[in-house]
């Protein structure tokens, strides 16, 4: 990587915002339902809700979810008093479920602030005290939701700035983050910082995109160092990710004689916290690998997935341990040892830290068995439901992986 030794002139720094705002006025998006720049009385609730939804998620994906939330929870008070199951059902499929938990918790915190002070938080620190709100989200709410001064430095902004200034530092490192924030603060105008924030988001989302930036349409192209060097896609610099490991589970479709399936509400912590899931059974895998010997014999390496990986120890919930032990005791389902690594796992679901291969396994219980397993789970104070596929999708908050299984 060529080390950047360039710096922008005072004129370039001072004209950055005017050029960007002129472009945004003529070419930016002005019809997104959470935008507040065309109103004299901005609503910070709407901006906060949209900012949380937009974290790591594209606008087109968020739009229908935002509409559903606003229809069901038009005010922060409505969201705060809603049952978690209702909130989870509205969020299901949007991913990164910790955001939904923080959103619900944050709504309760905001209502407390409003009850005490009569209004939403009015400072950056006040917003950063709300669950799930970091510096950039707080800056977005201050600038767009309150029409105060605020600075944002999210993924889109970092991409624009690293290219414009040819910043070669790894954006996952704190030193580079500090440099980017300093540049963002230098470029953000004291007046119209909300417009500037929206313009920067639009620039990153529509022109300065990851793979095919539309540099010829960019208002910043004349003094963009990456463009001058023809190195646009070299930025932002980010450490190469390690390949994700693969995990394997059976998804147990435990049915009663009416065809209703057993659903478990997952613990608040961990994957899919607070959502509803089929019971999972972590399985052993055999990895078939050819040896280097001339005979080309196959050696079988047993992967003890269920016992030797910490992620499984934390994700194998109490409910699933009860079910697994009960099923084995009744000899209704046996421990799975698969001869192939992937072929028998038709459903692949990628999470932040690993790929999850899920194999549906079905078992039908008689009425006595249903009563027995239900009582065992209820004795452990575990929330369960017996619902068919249609009713489960209609009434429960299901992660996308469960919907894939039902489909």
Q: Using CA atoms, how far apart are residues 212 and 218, in angstroms rounded to an integer?
A: 12
Greatest alpha-carbon pair distance for the chain in Å reads 80
Q: Which region, left, alpha or beta, applies to residue 143 given φ > 0 means left and ψ of -120 to 50 means alpha?
A: alpha
Q: DSSP secondary structure string, 48-88?
A: HHHHHHHTTS-HHHHHHHHHHHHHH--SHHHHHHS-HHHHH
Amino acid 357: pLDDT: 85
Amino acid 315: pLDDT: 62
The token duo for 152 is: 């944002």
87's CB contacts (< 8 A; 6+ apart) are 73, 79, 100, 103, 104, 397
Task: Find the Cα–Cα–Cα–Cα dihedral 401, 402, 405, 406, rounded to 10°.
Answer: -140
Residue 270 φ then ψ, to 5°: 90, -175
Amino acid 338: pLDDT: 38
The token duo for 207 is: 């022109």
Q: Tell me which residue of 55, 63, 11, 13 sits closest to 33, measured CA to CA.
A: 63
Q: Using CA atoms, how far apart are residues 344 and 286, in angstroms rounded to an integer?
A: 12
95's CB contacts (< 8 A; 6+ apart) are 56, 57, 400
Q: Using CA atoms, how far apart are residues 126 and 276, in angstroms rounded to an integer?
A: 33
Q: Using CA atoms, how far apart are residues 19 and 298, in angstroms rounded to an integer?
A: 64
pLDDT in tens, the chain (407 residues): 444 546 899 999 999 999 999 999 999 999 999 998 888 899 999 999 999 999 989 999 999 999 999 999 999 999 999 999 899 989 988 888 889 999 999 999 999 999 999 999 999 999 999 999 999 999 999 999 999 999 999 999 999 999 999 999 999 999 999 999 999 999 999 999 999 999 999 999 999 999 999 999 999 999 999 999 999 999 999 888 788 888 888 889 999 999 999 999 988 777 888 889 999 887 655 444 433 333 333 233 333 444 444 544 456 788 888 998 898 888 886 444 333 334 455 788 887 778 888 888 888 999 999 999 999 999 988 899 999 999 999 888 888 889 888 88
Amino acid 176: pLDDT: 96
Q: Using CA atoms, how far apart are residues 158 and 266, in angstroms rounded to an integer?
A: 35
Segment (H or E) for 355: strand 355-364
The token duo for 53 is: 């939804």
Architecture of domain 246-406: Alpha-Beta Complex (3.90)
Ranges assigned E (strand) in 202-334: 246-255, 261-265, 276-277, 280-282, 284-290, 298-303
385's CB contacts (< 8 A; 6+ apart) are 262, 263, 265, 276, 392, 396
The token duo for 397 is: 């908050």
Q: DSSP secondary structure string, 301-332?
A: EEE-HHHH-HHHHHHS-HHHHHHHHHHHHTTS
Ordered by start, the domain boundaries in the chain are 10-234, 246-406
Residue 299 φ then ψ, to 5°: -105, 145
With residues binned 3-state (H G I as helix, E B as strand, rest as coil), the percentages for the chain, rounded to 5, are 50, 15, 40
Residue 297 φ then ψ, to 5°: -70, 155
Choices 3.40.50.150, 1.10.340.30, 1.10.10.10, 3.30.200.20: CATH for 10-234: 1.10.340.30
Q: Using CA atoms, how far apart are residues 157 and 159, in angstroms rounded to an integer?
A: 5
Q: Which residues are catalytic?
A: 51
CA-to-CA separations, 94 to 61, 100, 401, in angstroms, rounded: 8, 9, 11
CB 146 within 8 A of CB 36: no
178's CB contacts (< 8 A; 6+ apart) are none
Amino acid 105: pLDDT: 96
Predicted TM-score of the model (pTM): 0.78
Q: Using CA atoms, how far apart are residues 144 and 133, in angstroms rounded to an integer?
A: 15
């Amino acid at each position: 990587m060529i080390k950047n030794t360039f710096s922008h002139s005072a004129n370039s720094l001072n004209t950055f915002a005017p050029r960007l705002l002129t472009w945004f006025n003529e070419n930016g998006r002005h019809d997104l339902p959470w935008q507040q720049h065309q109103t004299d009385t901005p609503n910070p609730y709407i901006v906060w809700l949209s900012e949380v939804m937009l974290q790591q998620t594209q606008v087109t994906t968020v739009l229908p979810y935002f509409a559903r939330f606003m229809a069901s929870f038009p005010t922060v008070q409505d969201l705060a008093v809603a049952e978690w199951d209702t909130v989870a059902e509205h969020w299901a499929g949007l991913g990164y479920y910790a955001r939904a938990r923080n959103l619900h918790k944050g709504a309760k915190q905001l209502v407390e602030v409003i009850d005490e002070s009569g209004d939403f938080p009015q400072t950056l620190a006040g917003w950063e005290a709300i669950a799930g709100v970091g510096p950039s989200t707080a800056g977005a709410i201050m600038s767009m939701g309150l029409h105060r001064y605020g600075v944002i430095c999210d993924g889109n902004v970092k991409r624009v700035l690293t290219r414009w200034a040819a910043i070669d530092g790894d954006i996952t490192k704190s030193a580079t983050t500090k440099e980017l924030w300093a540049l963002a603060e230098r470029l953000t105008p004291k007046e119209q910082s909300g417009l500037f924030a929206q313009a920067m988001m639009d620039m990153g989302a529509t022109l300065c995109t990851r793979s095919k930036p539309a540099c010829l349409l960019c208002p910043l192209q004349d003094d963009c160092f990456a463009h001058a060097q023809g190195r646009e896609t070299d930025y932002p610099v980010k450490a190469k990710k390690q390949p994700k490991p693969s995990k394997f589970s059976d998804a147990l479709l435990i049915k009663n004689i009416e065809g209703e399936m057993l659903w478990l509400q997952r613990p608040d912590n961990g994957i899919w916290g607070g959502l509803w899931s089929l019971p999972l059974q972590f399985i052993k895998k055999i990895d078939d690998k050819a040896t280097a010997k001339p005979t080309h014999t196959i050696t079988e390496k047993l992967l003890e997935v269920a016992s030797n990986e910490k992620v499984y120890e934390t994700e194998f919930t109490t409910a699933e341990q009860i079910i697994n032990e009960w099923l084995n005791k009744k000899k209704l389902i046996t421990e799975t040892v698969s001869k192939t690594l992937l072929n028998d796992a038709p459903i692949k679901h990628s999470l932040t830290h690993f790929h999850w291969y899920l194999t549906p396994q079905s078992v039908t219980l008689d009425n006595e068995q249903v009563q027995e397993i239900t009582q065992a789970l209820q004795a452990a104070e575990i929330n369960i439901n017996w619902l068919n596929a249609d009713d489960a999708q209609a009434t429960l908050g299901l992660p996308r992986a469960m919907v894939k299984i039902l489909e």
